[in-house]
Amino acid sequence: MDFKKVFGEKIELINEQLIDSITDIENDRLREAMIHYPKAGGKRLRPIITMLVADSISRSGSAALPFGIALELVHNFTLVHDDVMDKDETRRGIQTVHSKYGVSEAILAGDALFAKAFELIGDMDLDGDRKSDLTSLLARSVILLAEGQQMDMDFETEESVSAEEYMKMIERKTAVLYSAAAQGGAISAGAPEPLQETMFEFGRVMGLGFQIWDDVLDLRADEKLLGKPVGSDIRNGKKTLIIILALEDLKDENRTRFLQLLGKSDATDSEVEEAVGILDSAGSIDRAQRIASELIAKAKVLLDDLPEGDSRQRLIELTDFMIKRDM
């Protein structure tokens, strides 16, 4: 799928409304800090999913779009705050909000992006009950995001993390906004509850597949496409599923050597290559790739519950794209 060709028009519409949603902020510094990431672009996967689900159910993609924008605002708010927590100076080649505007401004801009998301829901052209359901969905999602982020921080100091705990963490930290995107599209479109729940589940397994594929890409992708150095998870000692699976299997000198390299922040490129080689020989990269593929296959089956048509077809392609994308 040529992502830009298929979704170009939607992305343009989303970008317009996204930027537009921030223009009424009075304070110049606050507004500029808020708009810094949204105007840097992005694939806008979450709003696209919301629109496609709503279009598929009742051709109501445009009416559902503000909820998609709200999710994109929340996604951007978490990026701003996560970057402060991680003390990262750059994100995909641009300065992070706090390094450009200051830590206080970044905290505040994140808070305001978050509030703006709820304001957008309040302004939607839907009856009060649906808006209230969307508000609850978004609020619950952000609570889970915070739980996931805290779990991820806890992992840094924990001796060992199980595959199960890892899946629980990424379900909260990554998948939750995909579940919200799909379920929110269904709620906006007036879908019955069982279909809303199926859409939530679709987003959940798709989001899990997305994250695990992301971990694979960190080890196998091209550095230029990735926008960050290959193997950064190894240098950061991050406990991804691949590394957790490998540590369950690795023995003797392979294990000793791998543990020497894991978390070695100044590891050379050839040391990172060596670590990737050990993961490869343990078969854990292939296993993770297989798990991601299975999750994506499962997500596609759930799409059978949507009415047949172009929008569903686009959703199937988008779901496939999650494990075909190279960035």
Q: Which residues bind a copy of itself (CB under 8 A)?
A: 25-27, 29-30, 77, 81, 84-85, 103-105, 107-112, 114-119, 121-123, 127-133, 135-136, 138-140, 142-143, 145-147, 149-151, 153-154
Q: Supply the minimum distance, in Å, between the C-beta of residue 42 and a copy of itself.
A: 21
Q: Select 153 or 327, whichever has its Cβ closest to a copy of itself.
A: 153
Of the candidates 233, 230, 196, the residue with the CA atom closest to the CA atom of residue 53: 196
Q: What is the smallest separation between the CB atom of 251 and a copy of itself, expressed in angstroms?
A: 33
CA distances to 23, 65, 68, 305, 311 from 13, rounded to whole Å, are: 16, 9, 11, 27, 17
Nearest to a copy of itself of 59, 140 (CB atom):
140
Q: What is the largest CA-CA distance in the chain?
A: 63
Compare residues 75 and 116 and give the one whose CB is closer to a copy of itself: 116
Nearest approach, Cβ of 97 to a copy of itself (angstroms)?
A: 13
* Nearest distance, CB of residue 110 and a copy of itself, angstroms: 8
- At residue 233, what are phi and psi to the nearest 5 degrees? -60, -35
Q: At what angle do helices 45-58 and 61-86 cross, to 10 degrees?
A: 160
Q: Which is nearer to a copy of itself, 136 or 281 (CB)?
A: 136
CB 248, min distance to a copy of itself, A: 24
Task: Provide the CA 233 distance to its chain's centre, in angstroms.
Answer: 17
Q: Which is nearer to a copy of itself, 142 or 261 (CB)?
A: 142
Tell me how far, at minimum, the Cβ of 220 lies from a copy of itself, in Å: 30
Alpha carbons 219 and 246: distance in angstroms, whole number: 14
Q: Are 49 and 203 in contact (CB under 8 A)?
A: yes
176 vs 208 by CB, closer to a copy of itself? 176
Q: How far is the CB of 116 from a copy of itself (least distance, A)?
A: 6
Cβ contact 186:199 at 8 Å? yes
Based on DSSP, count helices (H) and strands (E) in the chain, helices before strands. 17, 2
Contact, 190 vs 277, CB < 8 A? no
Sign of the CA dihedral 36, 40, 46, 47? positive
Instruction: For residues 126 and 132, give the distance between their C-alpha atoms in angstroms, rounded to a whole number.
Output: 10
**Least distance (Å) from a copy of itself to the CB of residue 73?**
11
Comparing CB distances to a copy of itself, the nearer of 186 and 242 is 186
Closest by CA to 50, choosing from 232, 322, 323, 318, is: 318
- Between residues 60 and 284, which has the closer beta carbon with respect to a copy of itself? 60
Could you tell me which of 48, 73, 322 has the C-alpha nearest to residue 205?
A: 322
